[in-house]
Amino acid sequence: MRCAGPVDHPARPSATRRKGQLPAARGGGGPRRARDIPAVRRSRDPFRHADTQIRREREASSMESTDADRAVVERAVVVGGGHMGSVIAGRLTEELPGAGVTVVEPSPDRAAALRGNQRLRVEESYRPEPGDVVVLALPPTALDSFVSGLPADALRDATVVSIMAGVRLETLAARLGTPRVLRAMPNLAAEVGQSMTMLCPGPGAGDDDLAGAEKVLSAIGEVLVPPDESFLDAGTALVGSGPALVAYVAKGFTDYAEQAGFDAAGSLRLTCQVLRGTADLLEAGNTGPEELYGRASTPGGTTEQGIARLGEHRVQDAVRDALEKTAARSRELAD
């Protein structure tokens, strides 16, 4: 099954956590898959169902290996040494020490900075090798320039993963001259190995392509495969823009703490631990956010007062509206 259209799938192996990784969503412990969950395609809230299934799969078989675990990546090539490209390349040198990692970066200044990591090979242009997993970490406007400099059939034997926002699978296959393309949406938490990355294979990508892409992207966090490409617009909002939106809300916490007399470092520490602990509570239990904040809201107590005030300001509506606007912009960029 490819992301070109939702189709039922046979069950696939569950995710595993490698030695030394943190539990739950705080490690890079294997790819998450939602594509084999029929409820995802029927639900108005597919990500909630996907996360529930992910948790159950992990609890039921935490040590079962996945296709991505068994995949062998001889060389990963990151095209584009900007912020996300350099983050992915750096994480790959740590998480896949047995694989060669090459960054294609024509800018002399960026290339010089990248060469500070002696485990990276930095090249001005892409020189294909059989079995490459190529990550396109370019601005969409740079795609034409990259393609024009490629030798004929340069990507014929490669798996190509694009993290370019708004560039559809159909467009990628046509422009790159290969059907073995996948789209991915990581986020800023890749910097600390905590990205929630959505990965969508095109109809011409095989199981080996998917496994190789999952293995590479697992170096920056967790991976979820949605039922079809249309989910990537919602994923752009929730996953891609999510950290910035959460940080915007977190600013209210730190501002309050500083106003109450805590210094900046203490305010940030308090806020981070509250967010981290809440995320772990949500993932560890079989409850949703509403039940969690309801359980904490004792009638007549302090939390109830705070929740009521947020309700008066329609905070949840504002968050949904922000995500909808972000997803709409993603669709506009792709059209």
- Can you tell me the distance from the alpha carbon of 173 to that of 140, in angstroms, rounded to the nearest whole number? 14
| Residue 248 and residue 189 share a domain | no
- Over the stretch 107-140, which tens digit does the pLDDT of each residue have? 999 999 999 999 999 999 999 999 999 999 999 9
- Can you tell me the distance from the alpha carbon of 284 to that of 237, in angstroms, rounded to the nearest whole number? 24
Q: What's residue 266's pLDDT?
A: 98
Q: How remote is the C-alpha of 312 from its chain's centroid?
A: 33
| Residue 221 and residue 294 share a domain | no
Q: What's residue 5's pLDDT?
A: 52
Q: Using the structure block, give the residue that is written with the tokens 């609890």.
A: 59
| Residue 197 and residue 133 share a domain | yes
Q: Is residue 78 part of a domain?
A: yes
| Residue 181 and residue 260 share a domain | no
Could you list the mean pLDDT of each consecutive 10-residue stretch along the chain, which spans 335 residues?
A: 50 36 40 39 38 46 61 91 96 91 95 94 94 95 93 92 93 95 96 96 96 96 94 89 96 98 98 96 88 93 96 97 92 78
| Residue 267 and residue 300 share a domain | yes
**CATH classification of the domain holding 249:** 1.10.3730.10
Of 225, 250, 281, the last residue of a domain is: 225
| Residue 76 and residue 217 share a domain | yes
Range list of H helices, the chain:
38-42, 46-60, 67-70, 83-95, 108-114, 143-148, 169-176, 207-217, 231-235, 242-259, 264-284, 289-296, 302-312, 315-334
| Residue 216 and residue 247 share a domain | no
Q: Is residue 42 part of a domain?
A: no
Of 195, 225, 255, the last residue of a domain is: 225
Do residues 161 and 134 touch, judged by C-beta distance below 8 A? Answer: yes
Q: Is residue 90 part of a domain?
A: yes
Q: What's residue 252's pLDDT?
A: 98
| Residue 210 and residue 247 share a domain | no
* Beta bridge partners of residue 221, listed in sequence order: 195
| Residue 246 and residue 306 share a domain | yes
Q: Is residue 304 part of a domain?
A: yes
Query: CB neighbours (10 Å) of residue 72?
Result: 11
Q: What's residue 32's pLDDT?
A: 45
Q: What's residue 215's pLDDT?
A: 95
What is the count of structural domains for the chain?
Answer: 2
Query: Domain of 219?
Result: 68-225
| Residue 142 and residue 195 share a domain | yes
pTM equals 0.78
**CATH classification of the domain holding 189:** 3.40.50.720
Q: Is residue 130 part of a domain?
A: yes
Q: Is residue 4 part of a domain?
A: no
| Residue 213 and residue 171 share a domain | yes
Q: Is residue 232 part of a domain?
A: no
Q: Using the structure block, give the residue that is written with the tokens 């992990």.
A: 58
Of 200, 225, 250, the last residue of a domain is: 225
Q: What's residue 335's pLDDT?
A: 66
Q: What's residue 72's pLDDT?
A: 80
- Over the stretch 232-256, which tens digit does the pLDDT of each residue have? 888 889 999 999 999 999 999 999 9
| Residue 206 and residue 318 share a domain | no
Q: Is residue 37 part of a domain?
A: no
